[in-house]
Amino acid sequence: MSSNFRAANSVTGDVDGTGVRVGVVCGRFNDHITNRLLEGADNALAVHGVAESDVTVVWVPGAYEVPMAAKALIENGHVDAVVCLGAVIRGETSHYDFVAGECARGIQDVQLATGVPVIFGVLTTENLEQALARSSEDDNKGEESVRTALEMVNLLRRLAAKG
């Protein structure tokens, strides 16, 4: 049996971006998709109060290189969170499996090693139509990834304050 039990000591985050420094790492490969993701991310950053001066956008060749740039942003003290954007669209070879899987693993590794939220906003789709749908105005994973990043930063800050 499941319930919506909430402990008296529940801790949640919110999406207030005031004073939050956000890095956005964006892959150039499939830029007809990644530019749309970046536009969604930019919109969400503005809506949620992240100052333009607190945003660093880094371009890398493709999704495979995203984790390295995310790690560099963190290690150099530039950010409180990193939003990783890219688009890996399945083709006729197994290249998709290697790139998508290693990108996801690398992003998770950076997040766990540094303790800084590193958000997986890399589309991994079967075809172009799916990628276009997930980078549209109605359903933009760039926007969603920014909200996730802000929520995680605020959650981690609250947990640290609780001691």
Contact between residue 34 and residue 83 where contact means Cβ atoms under 8 Å apart: no
Q: Catalytic residue, from 32, 48, 78, 95: name it.
A: 95
Residue in this structure with the two tokens 């997930």, named with its chain if needed: 134
Q: Helices 141-162 and 31-47 meet at what angle, rounded to 10?
A: 50
Residue in this structure with the two tokens 């992240």, named with its chain if needed: 50
- The strand order across the sheet containing 81-89 reads 55-60, 22-27, 81-89, 118-125
Assess whether 78 carries a catalytic annotation: no
Q: How far apart are CA 13 and CA 122, in angstroms?
A: 23
Alpha helices in the chain, H assignment, sequence order:
31-47, 66-75, 95-114, 128-133, 141-162
Catalytic residues: 95
